[in-house]
């Protein structure tokens, strides 16, 4: 499905306040100034996945429908699909207990959606064996690292994945490597890359390498140090692009130190597989952060990788950045995800209650405009500012053209 119509999807999540901010980039309400980047929110891949679901709901009307797991990492969107009668086979929204797994009872009349970030090979095989109608919404940008992975394996490289162990996309990539009898190592950040680089350089033994990385960061077969002889890097599509580049450079240096510059062509590959939407949203968020807002509110699912990395863009610019899921997180304190620990915490005194305040926003690729709009409105209300009536408040209307 290269062409699709996401009009229906966009309309169902449209919000006039966000539209205004998208068009103008800035909105002043009393003492509040809201800033919005030029790129944020639903990406092409999410539009496509949700449009495919809507199309399939019409085409296969009346048949039982299932999502393998969350279609995208946004709780509201997944709940909306559930409300439309689509049930979940795996993940936190799965209806049945694992011992009563409905996947075993599926048959040709069932329709199963594969999420935008793809699926593990074993799951795909099981579904094919059951003869179900598969609707594969895997984003074409996610296919890119898969293709590169297979190329590396064919050429005898160990795949180094800059990603998050346990994230659906990285799990799918790892399963592809296992099924192809290849080798992989997952590094999450520069700190872990330092450990891997030291092992490549011969400065660390296997125990120290394994101890320094996540216990599931290695393929089931991984021979040390032989499987570090030739490495090829890919990225989970939604990682922080600046960090991905730094990771590539650090590992390149490690190989050059070990094999000399002439060894690089033989032993090192690096291929940028960050998706365009992720890159655009991060670049735009950085530009807004450079305007020195008083705070940066990043809206998206707590388990959304691209949203987490947008919050890190704010951190890098030195702006207080809060990653929240939606309007329910906004109150006297703000409920947000702490970057280093991943804990969901509450912070008080997060919004100056007097004087002019500039608040910048962005939203992850899986965040509907409706949620972002509710967050903006709630922040205005906390400061006692009334939005124009045609933007969700009761103040004088503004021109929407």
Nearer residue to ligand SF4 within complex by CB, 153 or 277: 277
Residue least distant from ligand SF4 (Cβ): 45
Least separation in angstroms between CB 47 and ligand SF4? 9
Q: What minimum distance in Å lies between the beta carbon of 334 and ligand SF4?
A: 25
CB of 382 to ligand SF4, least distance (A): 30
When the beta carbons of 78 and 237 are compared against ligand SF4, the nearer one is 237
Inter-helix orientation angle 276-289/241-259, to 10°: 110
The rounded distance, in Å, linking the Cα atoms of 391 and 397 is 8
Cross-strand partners of 322: 297
Alpha-carbon distance of 392 to 49, in angstroms, equals 29
Residue 1 structure tokens: 């499905």
**β-bridge mates for residue 363, sequence order:** 299
| Residue ranges in contact with ligand SF4 by CB under 6 A | 43-46, 116, 139, 141-142, 237-238, 275, 277-278, 306, 365
C-beta closer to ligand SF4: residue 27 or 52: 52
Cα separations in angstroms, 329 against 244, 289, 379:
30, 21, 11
Which of 144, 232, 255, 239 lies closest to 182, judged by CA? 232
Nearer to ligand SF4, 239 or 387 (CB): 239
- Of 116 and 204, nearer to ligand SF4 (C-beta) is 116
**Residue 188 CB partners (closer than 8 Å, separation 6+):** 162, 163, 164, 165, 214
Q: Which of 169, 192, 243, 325 is catalytic?
A: 169
Closest separation in Å from C-beta 232 to ligand SF4: 20
Catalytic, 203? Answer: no
Closest separation in Å from C-beta 71 to ligand SF4: 10
Residues 6+ away with beta carbon under 8 Å from 103? 89, 90, 126, 127, 130
CA distance 184 to 250: 18
Return the active site residues.
169
């Amino acid at each position: 499905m290269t062409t699709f119509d996401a009009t229906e999807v966009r309309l169902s999540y449209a919000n006039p306040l966000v539209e205004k901010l998208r068009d103008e980039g800035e909105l002043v309400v009393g003492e509040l100034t809201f800033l919005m980047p030029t790129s944020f929110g639903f990406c092409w891949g999410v539009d496509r996945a949700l449009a495919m679901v809507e199309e399939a709901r019409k085409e296969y009307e009346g048949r039982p429908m299932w999502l393998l797991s969350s279609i995208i990492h946004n709780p509201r969107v997944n709940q909306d699909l559930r409300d439309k009668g689509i049930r979940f086979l795996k993940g936190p929204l799965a209806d049945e207990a694992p011992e009563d797994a409905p996947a075993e009872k599926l048959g040709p009349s069932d329709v199963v959606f594969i999420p935008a970030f793809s699926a593990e090979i074993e799951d795909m095989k099981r579904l094919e064996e059951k003869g179900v109608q598969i609707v594969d919404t895997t984003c074409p940008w996610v296919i890119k690292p898969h293709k590169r992975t297979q190329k590396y394996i064919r050429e005898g490289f160990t795949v180094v994945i800059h990603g998050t162990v346990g994230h659906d996309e990285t799990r799918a990539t790892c399963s592809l490597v296992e099924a192809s009898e290849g080798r992989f190592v997952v590094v999450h950040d520069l700190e872990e890359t330092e450990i891997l680089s030291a092992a490549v350089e011969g400065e660390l033994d296997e125990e120290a390498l394994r101890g320094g990385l996540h216990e599931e960061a290695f393929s089931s077969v991984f021979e040390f140090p032989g499987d570090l002889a030739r490495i090829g890097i890919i990225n989970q599509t939604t990682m922080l692009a600046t960090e991905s580049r730094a990771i590539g450079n650090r590992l390149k240096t490690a190989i050059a130190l070990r094999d000399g510059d002439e060894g690089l062509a033989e032993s090192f590959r690096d291929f940028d597989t960050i998706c365009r939407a992720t890159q655009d949203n991060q670049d735009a968020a950085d530009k807004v952060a450079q305007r020195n807002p008083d705070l940066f509110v990043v809206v998206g699912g707590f388990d959304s990788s691209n949203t987490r990395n947008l919050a890190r863009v704010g951190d890098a610019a030195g702006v207080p950045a809060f990653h929240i899921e939606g309007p329910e997180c906004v109150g006297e304190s703000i409920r947000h995800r702490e970057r280093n620990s991943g804990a969901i915490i509450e912070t008080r005194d997060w919004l100056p209650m007097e004087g002019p305040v500039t608040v910048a926003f962005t939203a992850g690729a899986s965040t509907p405009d409706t949620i972002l709009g509710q967050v903006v409105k709630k922040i205005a209300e906390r400061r006692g500012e009334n939005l124009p009536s045609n933007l969700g408040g009761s103040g004088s209307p503004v021109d929407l053209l």
